[in-house]
Every structure is written in structure tokens, then in C-alpha cells.
Chains A and B, each alone.
Chain A
């Protein structure tokens, strides 16, 4: 914890405010995630109901012989395949899936931000700082590759000049 700078409770209240904001934000994200998850499961449940209806329509009248069971299995697979493929190929599903995915990412980000606050206290590097380093390493690697290529070209030129 930081030492108080002005007055005995200043740093404490400032830290507390930041932590509280993070948790309020996390709560908002979770509420959003739940809304999107509910929409997602509503679509899946509707597809399931459609598939179950399709299965019932395709099912043999009685289940006695092996062939009856086999025919039931085929009918069920077909009905479920049709209902769920129709769902997964729909634009509605694409939108809802995108929202669920986005909310999950927001949730991860909020948790990351809370964890990174503690990292700072423990003097550990934060994700953003590591990313900066990775970007630098990537740029350096690229530069080295280009330099190596240029050196190769120069070497070849020199070798050609020597032979001629």
C-alpha cells in the first residue's frame, strides 16, 4: 500500500476508489455478458425444440426392431443437423455469437486490469508493458532479416565483381 501523501486517508481513499471502479465495471460487463448469454441460449433452445419436433416427425411409429432404432437415430441426426446448421448459418446467430465473444473479452480485460494493479504492487511487469517489448522484438527481428538480405545481396554483388 502507498503511504498517505496529504492527510492520513488520502492515498487509501484514492486506491479504494480505483478498485471500486474496477469492480463496478466488472459487474456491468458481467450483466452484459449474461444478457448476451441469455440471447445465445434462447437461440440454441429454439433450435433444439425445432430439432426435437423434426425428430418426432421422422421417428418410426414404434421402436421394436434394430432397424426401428437405426431409423430413429438417422432421423434424429438429420433433424438436429438441419436445425442447428440453419441456426449457425443465420445472421442472427452470427450477431449474438459476436456479442457473447466480445463480452467474454471485456470480462477478461476487466480481470486483467484488476490483476495488473496488484502486479504493480508486487513490482511485476504488466501485460501492456510485455506487449510493448514483444512489438519491439518483432520489429528488431524484421530489421535483422532485412539487413541479412541486404548483406547477402552485397556479398553476391562483390563476388560477381571479383569474378569479372
Chain B
């Protein structure tokens, strides 16, 4: 029973008769009481939402991701090569080989049907293949970019060419996968028709992100010698300092507030699953990534070594599409954009979008604004 209900009927009558200035106490009491009632309701509602959030988070189980139908063309101990089923009749003969990064999992490109990068390309009539990197083990400590690019990627390209009965692919990489795609193109250009990269790490001296800042003083040689592969926990600690409160804390407030919105909760769980689904990174690859690319900036200096070969970005002559996000807090646009100045391609384009690193590939914004333009560019340059 509320305080208001507790009042006797005669008391209420007295309140109504009394002029406001003469009875300030009795005047204020019902107002405060109503506020308290509202507050009690709000607290009950908040408690209900918190309880529902707890229950949903505990019983979330397996969140479905990567649902676009595909077959596994090939599987080795380091990768799976996926071939997606056509959704519409093929309008471009040149197949697209998507190279995902070695950080987190590739299903972010096919997070859910309405926010799937892969599905959008399929619906535009492209034939899409994807390299899904597997978790490196202790035995992969010495695996370097040379192994990933010159052995695994090269083999995948050969398989795709054979399957599609063509001579060249469109190489399409995201984040670290974009840098790997650029490395591959410099060494095996004859097999690449177009290079389309999303947020590539190129000129790290211009990188303004927290990740770039931390990488500067990391004794990565020592880490590889002592630990071997980069443990997932180390990556979590890096993620936790990127937008620590706006994303790290605020997202949970937003979840509680929107807990009755099924679609919001679904999106939240999928992204959360992806964020914490972090495999370790092979030791030698991580050493090259931090020491050679972030600390010495060898990639942009054309001095990066893959095995016995040197990566010279000026050798790239194929059409280049460089897609960057203005709000990217993992790879700043200033770090990605210089790729266009480094290559010798005549046909090159830089597309900038007002979104973030993940928003660029897995959001409604991306579906409506990024993918139609990307598809148009690719189609114009495919067989």
C-alpha cells in the first residue's frame, strides 16, 4: 500500500479544502508520495530488467553466427577455405576471395543475415570464397607471414582459380587480412585482377590509435621467446583499453535498457560473442606485425621481408579499392589511406565512410551505404 492510499478519507477532504500557503506540509505530502510511487515503479522495472538481463546472459548458449550457406572446399590445420552458395544468378565471373585477419573470427563478415558483408556480395551476384583462419597451436610458434601469405593464401588462390576456371581473382581483405592481401598482391600479381581492402594497416607512423601507441614500446621479441604465441588474454587487455567506458561500460547499460528489444539483444550477443572469441596469434607472425610493421614501419618503407622476398608496394599495378572508416579506433584512416599513394595502380580509389572499424563491415549503415558502392566498383572491374 502506498503512502497516498494510507491516508484516511477525512484527511483527504481536509487537504482539498485547505489553501496552499496555509498548509504547506499537507500540500507537499501527496506530491512527494506520487514521486515516490513513480520511483518505486521505476526501481521495480529496473529490477525486472536486470533480472531478465542476468537470465538472458546466463542462458544465451550458442549464439548463431555465420549462417549463410557454404561448403568447405578445403581444410588444413591452419585454415578452412569456404565457398558460399550462390543466392542469385552470377553477374560477375571473377571470384572474390575474402581474406580475414588473424585476430578474432571471420564470422564477423557474416554476423547475421541483415548485417552480412558476405551475403550482400552474394546478393549482388558475386561468387564469394573466404579464408577462415584456424586457431594456431604451440606448434605454430614459428609460423610467419611468409607461411600465411606465400603458402596458405597462395594455395587458396590456386584452389579458387581452379574451381572457378578463371586466371585471376579479386582479393578482398579486412584489417590485418587487408595488409596480407596487399603483401600477396605484390608477390603474386599475375593471379590478382583487383585488390579491394578494408581498413588495411599500412603506415603505422601515422596511426593515432591506442593500439598503435601501446605497440610502440612492446618488447615483442622477448614475448615470443618466453611465451611463444600471443595469448588471447593479452589481446583482451588491449581491447579493454579501446573506448573503455563508452563501449566497455556503456554497452551494458544500453543492454539493460533495451533488454525487451529482441533484435537489439540478438545483435548485442552476436557482437559480444565475436569480441570474446579471440584465438592466440602465432608468435613469429605477431613479432613481425608489431616489430616490423608497427615499430619499424617496414611495410610502408618497402622493406618488409616475407621469407627471402621483400614486399614492395609500388609493384602493385592492379585496380585498387581502399575502404576506410573515419571513426576507426583500431586502424586509423591516416594509417590506411597512404596505401593509395604507395601503389603504382592507375585505377585506384579511396572510399571513406563515417563509421567505425566494425560498423564498416557489420552494420545496417554498411549494408545501405558501403556495400552498394563496393559492389558497383567490383562489378565494373570483374569479368
List A residues at the B interface (Cβ < 8 Å).
Answer: 64, 66, 73, 77-78, 80-81, 84-85, 88-91, 93-95, 97-99, 101-102, 105-106, 108-109, 112, 131, 134-135, 137-138, 142, 145
Contacts and interface: CB of A to CB of B under 8 A. Distances in A.
B143 A81 contact: no
Given A131-B141, A134-B139, A134-B141, A98 B246 contact: no
A149 to B, nearest CB: 9
Interface string B143-176: 1000100010000000000000000000000000
A81 B245 contact: yes
A84 B241 contact: yes
A159 B371 CA distance: 44
Interface residues of B, number: 30
A134 to B, nearest CB: 5
10 contacts: A77-B246, A78-B246, A84-B241, A85-B210, A85-B243, A91-B216, A101-B223, A105-B222, A134-B141, A138-B141
A101 B223 CA distance: 9
A91 B139 CA distance: 35
A81 B244 contact: yes
A138 B42 CA distance: 62
Interface in B176-222: 208, 210, 213-214, 216-219, 222
A108 B139 CA distance: 20
Contacts, number: 77
B250 interface: yes
A77 B227 contact: no
A66 B46 CA distance: 11
Contacts of B250: 77
Contact of A105 (B213, B216, B227): B227
A80 B243 CA distance: 10
Contact of A138 (B143, B214, B228, B243): B143
B218 A108 contact: no
Given A97-B217, A105-B222, A134-B141, 11 more contacts: A77-B245, A77-B249, A78-B246, A88-B213, A88-B214, A88-B241, A89-B213, A94-B213, A102-B219, A102-B222, A137-B139
Contacts of A131: 141, 228
B217 A94 contact: yes
B210 A88 contact: yes
A138 B226 CA distance: 18
Closest 6 CB pairs of A and B: A98-B217, A138-B142, A81-B245, A80-B245, A88-B210, A102-B219
Contacts of A85: 210, 243-244
B253 interface: yes
Nearest to B257: A70
Contacts of B139: 134, 137-138
Interface in B219-262: 219, 222-223, 226-228, 241, 243-246, 249-250, 253
A146 B244 CA distance: 46
B369 interface: no
Nearest to A107: B226
B368 interface: no
Most buried by B among A88, A90, A137, A145: A88
Nearest to A138: B142
A73 B253 contact: yes
